[in-house]
Amino acid sequence: MPSSLIRRGVWVIGVAVLVIALAVAALPLIASTRIVRDRIAWELSAWSGFRVTIDGSPRIEVWPKFRAILSDVTLSQWTETDAPPVVEADRVEVDLSAMAALQGDVAFSTARLVRPTIRVERTTSGFYLPPLPTGGRITRSIDTARGLVTANPQKPDLGKLPADPFGIVEFRDGRVVTSADGKDTEILSGLNGQVNWQAMNSEASLTATGIWRGESVQLDCSSAKPLVLFAGGASPVTLSFKAAPATFSFDGTASMSENGFFDGQAKFAAPSLRRVLEWSQAGIAPGAAIGSVSVASKVNASAGRAKFENTTVSLDNNPGMGALDFSFADARPVIAGTLAFDTLDLRSFLSAFTPVVPVGEAGPGDIDTSFADRINLDLRLSAAHATVGPVQLAEVAATAQVKDGLAVFDISDASAFGGTIQSSLRLDRKPDGTQVEMRLLASDVDTGAFAKAAGMTRLVPAGTGTVSVILKGPGKAWNSIFENADGSFSATFGPGTLNGLDLAAFLKRNQQGGFFALDDVDKGSFPIDGAEIKASISKGVARLDKAEINAQKYKIWLSGIASYAGRGLALSGGVVPNGQPAPQPQAKQPAAGGQAAVQAPQPPNQSLFFVGGNWSTPFISPIAPGVSGQ
């Protein structure tokens, strides 16, 4: 090869290297003078539709990436100059195209917002969203897509969608705030993630993590046709929300039009419903809410209403199935539906929606009826097996209804204690206070097992019987209901045994005279033919209208009062041989002249006594020995 050609080639290569070196060296100067000052702010404004302001001095980096670093960047609405910026960022890093920069143009594919603050406003639908821009390429692209959707809502012409490139937007260590009375309230902090949307007519995805109400949360969502979705058309959507208190996912079709809808499969799971209610700040006291809950269902939601069909529910690992209907059109949300379970804790289930049962085992407390101001409820429940505290039920049919300050919880039918149970709890909020009404009807039940479950361990006939209780009273606290209740109690018992009383020892001690504790004669039992009790209740005090136990040889009767508040007893009673009437003892009354009248004579063969003390430790005081029990 001739030496002249070699020298010429070396010269060309040298010139090319020099040009490249000069171009690289000139990039920061070109960028800083022609791009940053004249183009980047304009390009960001053209895309976003907001007025972009860059207060800090820009800096250009060539290695390892050619990028512009902008400080103190704000995005504001053009029309509201006095409003605070929609977005503020301490720093924005923009990856630039070197070739475009040399030509005096801006082309970037990635923008990173460092420590951004995003301001949102509460919409009429209850969601927090940033103010919408009035222009920009994104807004114009959505307007174009809206025209295509309007022309053919079912099948818009996707080939005519704008294909402008977009790229990736990353955000680091950001926060979301809302303004009230001139002060910012933080909604979300520690915000990190990115939006990946390569072109206007391509799919898009959002991944974000942050801290919401003290818990770390993660959100992932994507759409195959985001531009159609923003334009009000239907588009496939997947969404996943993860946090320690709860997880939620959706996979289906959605529309963001005025008549928007969701249609697809949804899943929700929480290890503790109590924790979810507290974390969500729903305003519904969690009460004795159940533990774990999971729901999987087909969801169809539109126009303030959501239907859950083919719903599978698991409460504390107890599976159930049914359908639910949520309505948000009225001032209070409405929940209605039917659910069927194999096993169910009724008290915990009702507490999750309406915390009106006592919390824990430490004792009853105040009744919270504020839920009636926040929700309307109409649920039909059934369960093959259910529990209410220590009570085991089978084949249960129940309802829970809350509307306009009235809450009603019914067990319309259930099998328990060898018989059937019906019960009702009614809370009625009135101007003068909440009134509570409780009803219980236990028919043909094993009275021994029933009494044990109810905590009644003394002198309850063991056999088959029917018990009815009706109580009405003010509902400020659970104790106040029983202490001030009006109502009635009745029970009938068939043949069985009366446990906890040695009748022969009782009659012997009564004949000997001197008061004695019932505990001294409670080691025994005797057969009975039946028993009947009727009592009227006024202000928490039960007055025995009739109380008779019929045995083969004797009839035992009682009359008097028993108080719930002080657990006090003031009863008179007698043991009468069968075939002899059981008159009530007559109290001594003052006669004329201040002299005491003599007590009316009693039938000769009757043991009379007085029962005093309290429920746990009653004592007996003989009045007339009568029957010896031998």
pLDDT of residue 2: 56
> Could you tell me which of 517, 396, 500, 412 has the C-alpha nearest to residue 448?
500
Q: For residues 585 and 608, is the Cβ–Cβ distance under 8 A?
A: yes
Give per-residue pLDDT as tens, 440-468. 999 999 988 888 887 777 778 889 999 99
SS3 labels along 265-282: EEEEEECCHHHHHHHHCC
pLDDT of residue 394: 95
Mean pLDDT, range 599-624, rounded to an integer = 79
Q: Percent of the chain beyond pLDDT 90? A: 39
C-alpha to C-alpha distance for 56 and 74, rounded to whole angstroms? 11
pLDDT of residue 195: 94
C-alpha to C-alpha distance for 132 and 256, rounded to whole angstroms? 14
Q: For residues 483 and 564, is the Cβ–Cβ distance under 8 A?
A: yes
Name which of 13-27, 39-53, 230-244, 360-374 the model is least confident about: 13-27
> Could you tell me which of 628, 600, 622 has the C-alpha nearest to residue 609?
622
pLDDT at 591 over 50: no
The residue among 482 and 494 whose pLDDT is bigger is: 494
pLDDT at 176 over 70: yes
The Cα angle at residue 507 between residues 503 and 512, in degrees rounded to 5: 150
pLDDT at 365 over 70: no
Mean pLDDT, range 621-629, rounded to an integer = 73
Name which of 116-130, 203-217, 229-243, 553-567 the model is least confident about: 116-130
Mean pLDDT, range 406-430, rounded to an integer = 89
Q: For residues 486 and 539, is the Cβ–Cβ distance under 8 A?
A: yes
Which residue type, as a one-letter code, is found at position 165? P
Write the DSSP assignment of 546-609 as a string of letters: EEEEE-SSEEEEEEEEEESSS-BEEEEEEEEETTS--PPPPPP-B-GGGPBPPPPPPPSS-EEE
Does this model's pTM top 0.85? My answer is: no
C-alpha to C-alpha distance for 232 and 196, rounded to whole angstroms? 21
State the Rg of the chain over Cα: 40
Own/partner pairs, 206-209, CB within 8 angstroms, 24+ separation: 208/171
Name which of 99-113, 177-191, 209-223, 549-563 the model is least confident about: 99-113
Tokens 């080691």 belong to which residue?
Answer: 523
The residue among 259 and 421 whose pLDDT is bigger is: 421
Q: For residues 494 and 526, is the Cβ–Cβ distance under 8 A?
A: no
The residue among 184 and 557 whose pLDDT is bigger is: 557
SS3 labels along 39-77: HHHHHHHHHHCCEEEECCCCEEECCCCCEEEEEEEEEEC
Torsion angle, alpha carbons of 615, 620, 626, 630, to 10 = 80
Tokens 């012409």 belong to which residue?
Answer: 157
pLDDT at 25 over 50: no
Q: Given pLDDT bands bounded at 50, 70 and 90, which one contains residue 10?
A: very low
pLDDT of residue 367: 60
Q: For residues 184 and 177, is the Cβ–Cβ distance under 8 A?
A: yes
Q: Given pLDDT bands bounded at 50, 70 and 90, which one contains residue 284?
A: low
Give per-residue pLDDT as tens, 525-542. 899 999 999 999 998 899
Name which of 250-254, 421-425, 596-600 the model is least confident about: 596-600
**Within 13 Å, how many C-alpha atoms sit on residue 393's CB side?**
27
pLDDT at 286 over 60: no
Q: For residues 397 and 414, is the Cβ–Cβ distance under 8 A?
A: yes
Name which of 57-66, 144-153, 255-264, 265-274 the model is least confident about: 57-66
The residue among 53 and 304 whose pLDDT is bigger is: 53
pLDDT of residue 83: 82
The residue among 357 and 155 whose pLDDT is bigger is: 155
